[in-house]
Amino acid sequence: MSKLNNLVFVPAATVLLCGCGKQIDPRAMEIVQARRDAAEQAKPKTSPAPEFKTSSDLPERVPTLSLVGDKWDWDNDSSFYYITGRVTNNTARQLGLAMVSFNIYDDSGAQIGTTRDLVNNLDGHGVWRFKALVAQKNFRSAKLVELKGR
């Protein structure tokens, strides 16, 4: 008996929901549309994607570290050579680590090594005198490849 009730109920519900082929009241359609519009307006608005700016549009950024006088020198201390110079912390905050790194080249211009020097806790606006050991005896030149602080 319960199966028969289910069979009879489903078609009756379908006939009631469909309205037996009658047109839907226009006022009901207006209400449905008004609810859709309200739901659309309630959605959070997304802002447009920011425009890409070229580096010339942005304010010039001061590097965290800079080589004082943009130079460095060779120092022959006993039987070793060093690259020496000074680095300035351009920020007001203390840097936990500052590093300078150089590539080392021979007479032919081939890279034969690297050297670096590190310092911990460089004070805000402080100056650091670095001294990076050059272990290669056949070196002829060097190039600054990294100057970073964090």
pTM, 2 dp: 0.56
Torsion sign across C-alpha atoms 107, 75, 149, 88: negative
Alpha helix stretches (DSSP H) within 1-150: 2-18, 26-42
Q: Which amino acid would we find at residue 91?
A: T
**The pLDDT of residue 18 is above 50:** no
What pLDDT band is residue 145 in, cutting at 50, 70 and 90? very high
Q: What residues contact residue 68 under an 8 Å CB cut-off, 6+ apart? A: 85, 86, 87, 88, 127
pLDDT score for 60: 54
Write the pLDDT tens digit of every residue in 39-78: 777 766 654 544 444 444 545 566 888 888 756 666 666 6
Torsion sign across C-alpha atoms 8, 14, 20, 26: positive
